[in-house]
Structures are given as C-alpha cells and as structure tokens.
Structure 1
Amino acid sequence: MPGAARESAPESASAALDRDKLFTARLHAARVRPYLATALFALHVVASRRVPTMGVDRYWRCYVSPGFVDRTPVEELAGVWVHEVSHLLRDHHGRSDRVAKERGLHGRGERLRMNIAADFEINDDVYGDGLARPEDVVEPGD
C-alpha cells in the first residue's frame, strides 16, 4: 500500500472538485470504519470527467467526478469512499486479471461484468452502521 496520500493540483474553476466536501466525506468514512482509515487516506485523488461517479485503479488512484461530488450528500460519499477502497483491499483488480486470463475473457463487456460482480460482493455488506446506502447501489438480486 502506498504511503501518505498526495492530492492532485486544483482543476479549472469551471470544473472544480469540491475537495472540502470530498475530504469531509472521507473523514466521516474513517470515523465510522476506523479500521479502514489508513487505506482511505492512502488513496490519491484525481479529478476526472471520464468517470461518472468514483473509481479506483490498482495503483491506489481514486478518480472522482466533480459533478458527482456536487450532487451527492456527504453521508453517501462516505459510503462510496468505503466501497472504492474495498475494491483494493479485496484485490478485485488482481482477481479480475486472473479470471480473465484463465477463462480468456478480454473484452470490455467481460471486464464490466466482473466489475459489477465485484460491486455486488462489496455492496451486500458495506452499508449500514453509519454509512448511508446510495439510491442507485447495485445489489445481488437486482
């Protein structure tokens, strides 16, 4: 796991990421899931219009849509922080790579299905006890 989090430079005024709100949500996540604090604060935030919400890569970068932060309550953002760091702690990138190699799954559709399966695996136990469940969360059985 990488060392202390480093944050990217501020964006242009027209697409500014509300870092205060985002980091308030991260602090809330760390307070309700203190055993995840080190991992939460190790993530390197990267503002991006290429993601609709938030997402992580295997290198502990957390890509964040400024618009998503603007329209999402802090309590729900806290849950998204925990969801995203859970992908890393559960090695979903590595597991996905292994399954893809073993089964010859290389298309974008196959990767999307694996990501949705990983989301199901996280979402069935991550919310509650201080973390609000966003309205559009996918769960097993949906």
Structure 2
Amino acid sequence: MSSPTDGPAEPDEHHRYACHLQALANVDADDEPTLVNEILQDPDQVMAESAVARHIDDRARLLLTDERFPGWAHTMTGVIGERDFLTRRLTEWTLLATIAQDKPWAPAQVTEASDWFQRKAVEVLTSPDALALLAGQGRTRRVRATAERRQVRRLT
C-alpha cells in the first residue's frame, strides 16, 4: 500500500515520453534514424510524435547553420514518412536553415509559413531581409514587434 506522500503514480505514457526524450538527447548521429523510427512505432502515436518533434526542434536548432543540416533533414524526412505534423515542422526548420545559411529563399515562403515558423524565425534568424519582411508583413503583432526590435538591436 502506498503512503499519502507517494502521490499518484506517473502514467505509463509519461514515463515512456521521458525515456524517449532521454534516449534522443543522448543518441549518436549514426543511430539517430533507427531510434527515431523505433520511437515512432510506440502505440501512443501522439506521444511518440511529440517526442520526435521536440527532438527535431532541438537537433535542428543545433544544426541550423551547419553544413550537415541538409543531409540530416533528408535522413529525417525518410524516417518520419507521411506524418503531416513532423513533415511540416522539418520543412519549416529547413527553411529557417536556408535563410540562416544565406541561401536563396522567397518572401512568400516566409509570409505564408505557420505562426510557429514566424515566431521561431524572429527568435533565431539574423537575416536583415527576413527580419525586415517579418517586421512589415508578419502575421501577428507579436511577430512584427519582435522582428522590429531585433532589427533595431542589429543596428545598434
């Protein structure tokens, strides 16, 4: 019998989620595709995709300006398959990397991207063109204001 100080037991999916995140945080680049694929086989698809999305966010942020980003993104595309949310998130990180690496991009890609993308862009990008575009045409007041502040900060 449990004591009153033990509290309720952690649900199994919470434990698996934490284990997935821990494994992903420590995975070697060579083993990453296999581990992501294994996690995506979890019976709780929402939880599994959430863990993989968090991993994509963490890894993409680390590789944003790295020449290895395109190869990593290509590999992950093959692993995540037809999962809409994960595909969209990886596609948006790829656009962020394209801009961060000063490769060609189109303004419509930025203005038509999701709110998440625009918020992340004003957080991580330093491109004067991207920040100016978002300061003038960002979808939300928050994005426009943050882009404007980031532009001013770059000029001072």
TM more than 0.5: no
Structure number with the bigger relative contact order (C-alpha 8 A, sep ≥ 6) is 1
Based on CA coordinates, which of the two structures has the bigger radius of gyration? Answer: 2
TM-score, normalised to structure 1's length? 0.28
Select the structure that is richer in helix: 2
